[in-house]
Amino acid sequence: MIQAWTSLFIIWASLFGTPAPTGPDQPEEGPGSADYLHAEATMSDFAEDENGYWLFEPASPRPDSAPVVVFHHGYGAINPMIYGRWLRHIVLQGNIVVYPRYQNNLFSPSSKQFPNTASTAIRNALKELKTGDHVRPVEEGLILAGHSYGGAISAYLGVNHKELGIPRPAGILLASPGTGPLNGALLDSYEDMPEDIALLVMVSVNDHVVGEKLGRIIFETAVNTPKRNLVIQHPDEHGEPTIGAGHNESYALDSGFDAGIHNLSYRRALGVARTNAIDYYGYWKLLDALMDCVRSGQNCDVAFGNTEAQRNMGCWSDGQKVRELEVIVP
């Protein structure tokens, strides 16, 4: 009888297979988790042109003041919906997010103007936040984050913040930084990055859009910035859906933040974006830990140092660990 049941199971498994393991859910606590201080995020539109911006503020409960994260989108990815779940995650933890538009469309202005349009938006946003019924900005502990061309802009602003009239950032996270053929926000070297800026540069091994080149240049030339790590993300095909390592892994759609700009980048995002372990245990976790580290001295071991906590990407549903991040330290 046992032999008969065994034979039936083998036949069933050969016909239908066993379910593939699924990826990890968002952790319940710690950096990257859903342990939120607020229940809502409000969105305000001041983005009429390339000097414009969107504001995202925590609510329910509404704080009197909050620290600020500036998020620079990738080239053409103007609509904040494309990164919306990440933006919402940042805000629900108690941060104001300033999202500079920095370009009017895919063709205007030229990339040489991007640092100026982005910094103008930041200055205007901080001024606006000090008026009316906004949550007041705490400029100490300012964080810059950026994806793709937005990463190049964030690094440029980190070096030239004083000349551009914005507060000195305390920390910077760059997600797949690069510019392609448009080099308006590039520097030959990032050795003038201030020594007290904490810097995380994250690249993906299968990024066929901009590759790892600029990320490695920034990491290797920011020699006067000792607290910096290069984080390399690899794919993992153990379960379903598989975990990729391409250029747009930081996309995380949220229709609640749709600004109505439905261009080519928006349509591409609809096809490729998904929220998974790379978000929870990669971008979201590392940015959360970076903010904690520079503002309160907590979770520095999660943000820096090639520690297990930094490299950890969670587990598949069958218990196997998702392939860890690779970390290079100075």
User: What ranges make up the beta strands (E) of the chain?
Assistant: 40-46, 53-59, 65-72, 96-100, 136-147, 171-175, 198-204, 228-233, 326-328
Domain that holds residue 161: 24-328
* 16 inside domain: no
* 11 inside domain: no
Note the pTM of the prediction, 2 decimals. Answer: 0.93
Residue of 327, 326, 313, 325 lying closest to 239 (CA atoms) = 313
According to the model, what pLDDT value does residue 106 have? Answer: 87
* 13 inside domain: no
Give, for all 330 residues of the chain, the pLDDT tens digit: 445 544 443 343 444 557 899 999 999 999 999 999 999 999 999 999 999 999 999 999 999 999 999 999 999 999 999 999 999 999 999 999 999 999 999 889 999 999 999 999 999 999 999 999 999 999 999 999 999 999 999 999 999 999 999 999 999 999 999 998 988 899 999 999 999 999 999 999 999 999 999 999 999 999 999 999 999 999 999 999 999 999 999 999 999 999 999 999 999 999 999 999 999 999 999 999 999 999 999 999 999 999 999 999 999 999 999 999 999 999
Q: How many domains does the chain have?
A: 1
* 41 inside domain: yes
* 285 inside domain: yes
Identify the helix (H) or strand (E) that includes residue 11: helix 2-16
* 5 inside domain: no
State how far the Cα of 47 lies from the Cα of 54, in Å rounded to an integer.
Answer: 6
According to the model, what pLDDT value does residue 17 have? Answer: 59
* 14 inside domain: no
According to the model, what pLDDT value does residue 19 have? Answer: 83
* 15 inside domain: no
Give the contacts of 314 (CB within 8 A, at least 6 positions apart): 23, 24, 27, 277, 280, 281, 321, 322
**Domain containing residue 184: CATH number:** 3.40.50.1820
